[in-house]
Amino acid sequence: MHSTLREYFPAALAAYAELTLTGPDTLELLAKAPDPAAAARLTIPQISAALKRARRRGVAGKAERIQAALSERHLGQSEIVTEAYAASVTAAAAVIAVERADQDDGSPGGVAFSPPPLMPGPTSASPASGSSPAPGCSASSATRPAGTPTPKRAAPTPAPRR
């Protein structure tokens, strides 16, 4: 998220520098205002409320500094690029918030994710499984152009004669 913000919204990095990007207050504010225009419209009471929910100290001073940093003018990206970056930051903030909530619940931490198999049947391509990888899907296919035959193993170099 840091690199994304650096690319399109560096004011957020400056504004939230004294907090952490993964803190609940920062995530809440980024979810509420993920782009520079929306962040500039955040009010001190809105910022203060997020800081209070995160149990921060010195809320009034921090809220004023955050609002000042978010309100500064800066060079921006085009509108469509900003929208795409904002969507990315909103999604990342939501994922981090869910991860955080899972850890706070005492659950093992993290959302278990297991991608579905792409093809039915055995997932192993070993000879013991009786299947072979699909054409062009071997480990070496990424380094060869499509349709190139698999090279044959070269003969070992003979040892030099003495």
In SS3 terms, 134-159 reads as: CCCCCHHHHHCCCCCCCCCCCCCCCC
Nearest 5°: phi and psi at 96? -65, -40
Q: CA–CA separation, 47 vs 153, rounded Å?
A: 65
pLDDT value, residue 103: 76
pLDDT value, residue 148: 61
To the question of pTM greater than 0.75 for the whole model, the response is: no
- As given in the structure block, the two tokens for residue 8 are 């399109």
Q: In this predicted model, what pLDDT tens digit does every residue of 44-92 receive, in sequence order?
A: 999 999 999 999 999 999 999 999 998 887 767 778 887 888 888 888 8
Domains of the chain: which residue ranges?
A: 2-104
DSSP per-residue codes, 27-57: HHHHHH--SHHHHHT--HHHHHHHHHHTT-S
pLDDT value, residue 110: 44
